[in-house]
A and B are shown apart, each in its own frame.
Chain A
Amino acid sequence: MRKRVGEYSFSVISMLDPFVLRALLGIIFASFSAPVSTIMLLRGALYISPEVSHAALGGAALGVFLQVFIPGSADPFFFAILFCIATSILVSRVGRSSQQALSMILSVSLALSVMLYAIIRSYLPIEKKIMVDGYLISDLLLISETEVLNLAIASTISILITIIFYREFLYICFDMETAESLGFKVGLYDSLLFATSAITAAVVAKTMGVLLSVTLLVIPAAVSRLITIRVNRMLILSFAITVFSGFSGIAISLYLNIPTSGSIALVSIMLFSLAYLVRFIKNRLV
């Protein structure tokens, strides 16, 4: 039986609808965040990424504000990325000295970002308010062609950096002190890792919304860590899990007429629960 829901109908044809195609592309580009998230997991800093994605709110609000009052200024997504990178690098620099300082800096930058979002939002016309709110709770099915292009550029940059510096990042995760003793610029590469992670945090904030960013920034990496011990397999698996969660989440949202981000979140949480259960049973049997 074919179920018709709203303006979409769940079928292969509906999956080729331009709205759905853009959403699928958005998921593919958001999936490029998975490998760097896996490296952040090994670095013991994955919990920072969803926090950093909150900075996208302030950046996007500023970007929309500038677009309204200074026509021709850069896309709000650009400001969202800038804010995420600034927060992330600050956190990486401060976090190396103390965990408490890291939490403080994270809280202060997020508080500033949310305040900026709230203040600027009150000055924006209603259609622009919706645009900024898209970073809080995103609807993937409403993503525009320009936004898909922005996501493509940002996520391609992040995946290229991850591939090029894969081994350097791994060695930082493994033994920062010896890396430094070898003359390797640990601070520089660590900041690069955090900046790359920040780009992906902004991409995921745009596709999933800040409130559910944890779904794609943390869960796929955590699932891959439960399934395999080999790092290269972890990176590929986390990418595959993100794509699977995204595609099946979109399909479920179309079929049941429920919010896309929410259904993607539910699929990834189910995958995590399943992986955890399998691991638990396996450990009991061995």
Chain B
Amino acid sequence: MSQPIISLRDVSVRLNGHAVLEDVSFNVESPSFITIVGPNGAGKTTLIKLLLGMIKPIKGSVKVLGMNPFTESEKLRSLVGYVPQKDRISYETPLMVWEVVLMGIFLRKRFPRTISSSDLESARKALECLGMEGYWEYFFNELSGGQQRRVLIARALASDPVLLLLDEVFAGLDSESQQYLLNVFKMLRDRNRTILIVEHELDPIMELTEKILVLNKTVCAYGDPNEVLSEDKLKPIYPCLRTVEKEGRRIFILGDKHA
């Protein structure tokens, strides 16, 4: 059996004196599409930051691509792409689309950092992949929400990572934009990339999801959607859980309110 691309063993994280993650253990095989769900404050974003080496655990072991993200971050960072939540971006800084995409290449370099023609070419290819090549000289903050999300994904793809960590990239998008991103992720999955996505609702990404991880400070459930998606497992975490039928499929609406 091949080595898992992500491996966590008994990981606990405390932030400002509060337990954010407790004894989290799971493995992710490559390539795969993993969806992480959980209520607000469940530690989803913390988990992503842990995998990026931005937050250290108080106990347990974390391995990403077989490497320790805290001691081998330099090797790891070119292999992992990250798309943050939209509220982490400052829309007051008027960067152009090409500048945003280049950020993913430029800041990975050591000082003195320069922009080469091959960097520009990589940025152009990443934008092409997201169908945004025509927006090269547009201002990022003047694009629609869906287009902005595509540019941020292009930024994450600019260094051709093998693992993509996405934090709520579907939030607030219309169904057309959601479908576009789904097609992009499908294409990346076909190219053997592993995608780990944090979302509040499962509906937009169910057709791609191979495994679901339900997080509420610890791993409440992890496995195939058929195993995990049951009212017994979800109701304790989501008291407002509802299920609806849509085109012959049963859809779980996790709801905003939580325990």
Interface residues of A (CB under 8 A from B): 42, 44, 164, 167-168, 170-171, 173-184, 229-231
- A16 CB, nearest partner CB in chain B, Å: 41
Report the tally of A-B residue pairs with Cβ distances under 8 A: 69
- A48 CB, nearest partner CB in chain B, Å: 15
Contact of B103 with A175 in the complex, beta carbons under 8 Å: yes
**Chain B residues closer than 8 Å to A176, beta-carbon distance:** 88
Contact of A174 with B90 in the complex, beta carbons under 8 Å: yes
- A49 CB, nearest partner CB in chain B, Å: 16
Contact of A182 with B108 in the complex, beta carbons under 8 Å: yes
- A92 CB, nearest partner CB in chain B, Å: 16
Q: Name the residue in A171, A174, A182 with the highest tally of chain B Cβ atoms < 10 Å from its Cβ.
A: A182
Of B17-25, B93-101, B211-219, the one contacting chain A is B93-101
**Chain B residues closer than 8 Å to A180, beta-carbon distance:** 54
Contact of B84 with A177 in the complex, beta carbons under 8 Å: yes
Contact of B113 with A171 in the complex, beta carbons under 8 Å: no
Q: Name the residue in B74, B80, B94, B112 with the highest tally of chain A Cβ atoms < 10 Å from its Cβ.
A: B94
**Chain B residues closer than 8 Å to A179, beta-carbon distance:** 103, 107
Contact of A168 with B84 in the complex, beta carbons under 8 Å: no
**Chain A residues closer than 8 Å to B113, beta-carbon distance:** 167-168
Contact of B90 with A44 in the complex, beta carbons under 8 Å: yes
Bound state CA distance, A231 and B100, in angstroms?
Answer: 13
**Chain A residues closer than 8 Å to B88, beta-carbon distance:** 175-178
22 contacts across the A-B interface (CB closer than 8 A) = A42-B92, A164-B112, A170-B93, A170-B95, A171-B106, A173-B93, A174-B103, A175-B90, A177-B88, A178-B82, A180-B54, A181-B54, A182-B77, A182-B103, A182-B107, A183-B73, A183-B107, A183-B108, A184-B107, A229-B139, A231-B94, A231-B95
**Chain B residues closer than 8 Å to A164, beta-carbon distance:** 112
Contact of A182 with B94 in the complex, beta carbons under 8 Å: no
Query: Contact mask B52-90 → A, CB, 8 Å, 1/0?
Result: 101000000000000000000110010010111000111
> Are A178 and B155 also in contact (CB < 8 A) when A167-B113, A173-B93 are?
yes
Contact of A178 with B103 in the complex, beta carbons under 8 Å: yes
The 7 closest A-B pairs by CB, nearest first: A184-B107, A183-B77, A174-B93, A182-B107, A173-B93, A181-B82, A181-B52
For the complex with contacts A174-B89, A181-B54, 7 further pairs of A-B residues with Cβ separation under 8 Å are A42-B92, A164-B112, A168-B107, A171-B106, A175-B90, A178-B104, A230-B94
Bound state CA distance, A113 and B247, in angstroms?
Answer: 69
Partner pick for B94 among A177, A178, A181, A229, CB 8 A cutoff: A229
Contact of A173 with B108 in the complex, beta carbons under 8 Å: no
**Chain B residues closer than 8 Å to A173, beta-carbon distance:** 90, 92-93
**Chain B residues closer than 8 Å to A168, beta-carbon distance:** 107, 113
Q: Name the residue in B80, B90, B104, B139 with the highest tally of chain A Cβ atoms < 10 Å from its Cβ.
A: B90
Bound state CA distance, A230 and B96, in angstroms?
Answer: 9
Bound state CA distance, A125 and B28, in angstroms?
Answer: 74
Closest partner residue, chain B, to A39 (CB atom):
B93
Q: Name the residue in A167, A175, A178, A179 with the highest tally of chain B Cβ atoms < 10 Å from its Cβ.
A: A178
Closest partner residue, chain A, to B49 (CB atom):
A181
Q: Name the residue in B52, B88, B99, B103 with the highest tally of chain A Cβ atoms < 10 Å from its Cβ.
A: B103
**Chain B residues closer than 8 Å to A174, beta-carbon distance:** 89-90, 93, 95, 100, 103
> Are A183 and B100 also in contact (CB < 8 A) when A175-B88, A178-B88, A178-B155 are?
no
